Amino acid sequence: MDNKDFEVEKNEFDETVAATENDSELTSDISAENAALPTEQKKVGTVTQIKKKVSKALLHREEWLAEHDIVFTEPLTPAPEEKPQPLVKGNVDMWFLLWAMILVCFGAVMSYSASAVYAEYEYDSSTYFLLRYVLFAFAAIALTVPFVIFARPRFWKIFGALSYAGSIFLLIIVLFVGRTGGGAQRWIDLGFITIQPSEIAKMAVVMALALYMAKYEKKISSVHKFGGHFQYGFFVPMIIIGIPCALIIVQPHLSGTIIVGMVGLLVMYLGGTRMKWLAAFLGIIAVVGVVFIMFFGYSMDRVQIWLNIDKVDPLGDAWQTLQGLYAIGSGGFFGLGLGSSRQKFGYVSQPQNDFIFTIICEELGFVGAFLLIFLFALLVWRGIKIGQNAPDKFSALVVWGLTFKIALQVALNVAVVTNTIPNTGVSLPFFSSGGTAQIIQIFEVGIILSISRFSTNKK
């Protein structure tokens, strides 16, 4: 509301209050109420009631002015903060744990089925990727369990700040000493394990943003644009997201940048950032994205393949996408049977990675693919419920952010392998091979389970 509109409404309100004293209808109503009283009492009663009504109108006027004051609407003396309710500790959410464990076991089975042929050819052992999967899964579970048992919500606030700082450090290091593969420099090779810092950054951004949005909740909801909802609700959170995104995009790693950015924006929205700022930012990003694709050949080539898949060389650039589509189409309704995929025999390259969903469709058919997506939907649903019952805003934002990250990666992976969107190299959580991703995903499940143990409600 600008100054002109404010003055008009204020004057109208003042006229209404002034008219109250000479309101004939008000006088007649009061006269009717006092009709049965003696003459002297009528006069006293009439004056008293008029004063009460005028006072009430003046009080409403002050409240209205306080609510619409364009200069300052917050009280000079802040209201005392409510005392935090005591935490109630209970058991972990068993349904979330169940769906997560089923997905991990399902992932182990399909990791072996999809990778056996490739592993035998490359490493002389058909169980190479299965053993890696099981090893990383047990290592992640062993790492996670103590946190689930002993960690309290306050610990995750400290962890969030440290993980964000650590991820930024690793994202910088990988640009200098990282291992290059597929035209990108994304991995730090430690010999016994290869670390992909962008996977850590996905989790760290969620936790750092949740910590910030919860800490500055009142300033984010402030009516002031500068020093209020713009600065605290949009500008600073965008810096928190922008730093890791900038370091990831230069690797280059487009899909990692998209995931970090989208998950970060969701946490901002849930944390109280106004929709108009997010809408404006998304519009700018759309324009920048188009310009980026037009001037960077790597991205433009993938878009051209996506748009003209039927015209691109099937033995060249379109090979991976087309072979994946053949695998999906070959599965039919019930599939060819577990372990019976034909496309994994050198057609879908490295089928244990991003395109493992195509092998699941080929071997288990539409039924298997639907079951997989349904299990993820159950996991996401329980994550949302855990967030609703979380003990504080920070915990709720962490749970919702990590849950949405899983849902987003599943949606993007399925969209990529079905050629719904350009091929951006997105892994399928709990299924695609990758040590860092697997450990982080199971650890994220542990964070959600740890938070699910606490509530401010009676268990």
pLDDT tier for residue 70 given thresholds of 50, 70 and 90: very low
Residue 439 corresponds to which tokens in the numbers above?
């450990």
Q: Could you report the per-residue pLDDT of 147-189, keeping only the tens digit for each?
A: 999 998 899 999 999 999 999 999 999 999 888 877 778 888 8
> What's the pLDDT score for residue 381?
96
Computed over every residue of the chain, the mean pLDDT equals: 82
Interval 318-331 mean pLDDT = 89
Higher pLDDT among residues 396 and 73, named by residue: 396
Contacts of 421 (CB under 8 A, 6+ apart): 306, 412, 415
> What's the pLDDT score for residue 54?
63
pLDDT tier for residue 260 given thresholds of 50, 70 and 90: very high
> What's the pLDDT score for residue 76?
47
| Token pair 């996977």: residue | 199
Q: Could you report the per-residue pLDDT of 99-154, keeping only the tens digit for each?
A: 999 999 999 999 999 999 999 988 988 999 999 999 999 999 999 999 999 998 89
Provide the percentage of residues in the chain whose pLDDT is more than 70.
77
Interval 4-17 mean pLDDT = 54
Interval 232-244 mean pLDDT = 92
**Of 72-76, 221-225, 444-448, which gets the smallest average pLDDT?**
72-76
pLDDT tier for residue 225 given thresholds of 50, 70 and 90: low
Nearest to 226 by CA among 235, 239, 215: 235
> What's the pLDDT score for residue 361?
95
Evaluate whether 440 touches 202 at the Cβ level (below 8 Å).
yes
Q: The whole model's pTM is what? A: 0.80
> What's the pLDDT score for residue 434?
81
> What's the pLDDT score for residue 319?
84
Nearest to 270 by CA among 209, 223, 215: 209
Residues constituting the chain: 459
Most confidently modeled range among 56-60, 216-220, 251-255, 389-393 = 389-393
pLDDT tier for residue 72 given thresholds of 50, 70 and 90: very low
Evaluate whether 57 touches 347 at the Cβ level (below 8 Å).
no
The letter for the amino acid at 415 is A
> What's the pLDDT score for residue 455?
74
Q: Could you report the per-residue pLDDT of 354-380, keeping only the tens digit for each?
A: 899 999 999 999 999 999 999 999 999
DSSP 169-180: HHHHHHHHHPEE
**Of 36-40, 170-174, 408-412, which gets the smallest average pLDDT?**
36-40
Q: Could you report the per-residue pLDDT of 431-446, keeping only the tens digit for each?
A: 998 888 899 999 999 9
Higher pLDDT among residues 306 and 393, named by residue: 393
454-455 and 179-181 beta bridge pairing:
unpaired
> What's the pLDDT score for residue 71?
45
pLDDT tier for residue 307 given thresholds of 50, 70 and 90: confident
Task: Name the helix (H) or strand (E) containing 189.
Answer: strand 184-189
Query: How far is 123 from 131, CA to CA, in rounded Å?
Result: 12
The answer, yes or no, to whether residue 23 has pLDDT greater than 60, is: no
> What's the pLDDT score for residue 96?
96
> What's the pLDDT score for residue 210?
95
Q: Which of 413-451 are b and which e, b meaning 16 or more Cβ less than 10 Å from the residue's Cβ?
A: bbebbebeebbbbbbbbbbbbbbbbbbbbbbbbbbbbbb
Query: How far is 259 from 166, CA to CA, in rounded Å?
Result: 19
> What's the pLDDT score for residue 287?
84
Provide the percentage of residues in the chain whose pLDDT is more than 90.
47
pLDDT tier for residue 42 given thresholds of 50, 70 and 90: very low
Evaluate whether 237 touches 213 at the Cβ level (below 8 Å).
yes
